[in-house]
Amino acid sequence: QAADSKREQFRQYLEKSGVLDMLTKVLVALYEEPEKPDSALDFLKHHLGASAPENPELEALRLEVAEMKEKYDAVLEENRKLKTKVKVY
């Protein structure tokens, strides 16, 4: 009986958190695919991963890349100005 109680609590947890709905939607999408993919697991990973919340580390890396692009553009502009000055001399 304790195992049944734990299972029911876990099921309720999955239901409250939206996991059951998400899994159901992805499995229905797979079922409705006219041409089944070679890898059902890859299909699930792709569809679940697409709607998963962003990884904080990934977002931090995106911000870092954006900052580096800005610095790169500034360095290119400085380089262009310096080349112009060198031509004058």
Q: Is the pLDDT of residue 86 over 70?
A: yes
**Six-digit token string for 18:** 């939206």
How much of the chain exceeds pLDDT 90, in percent?
63
Torsion angle defined by CA atoms of residues 19, 20, 22 and 27, in that order, rounded to the nearest 10 degrees: 140
Q: Looking at residue 29, what is its pLDDT?
A: 93
Q: Over the stretch 16-49, which tens digit does the pLDDT of each residue have?
A: 999 999 999 999 999 999 999 999 988 888 888 7
How much of the chain exceeds pLDDT 70, in percent?
94
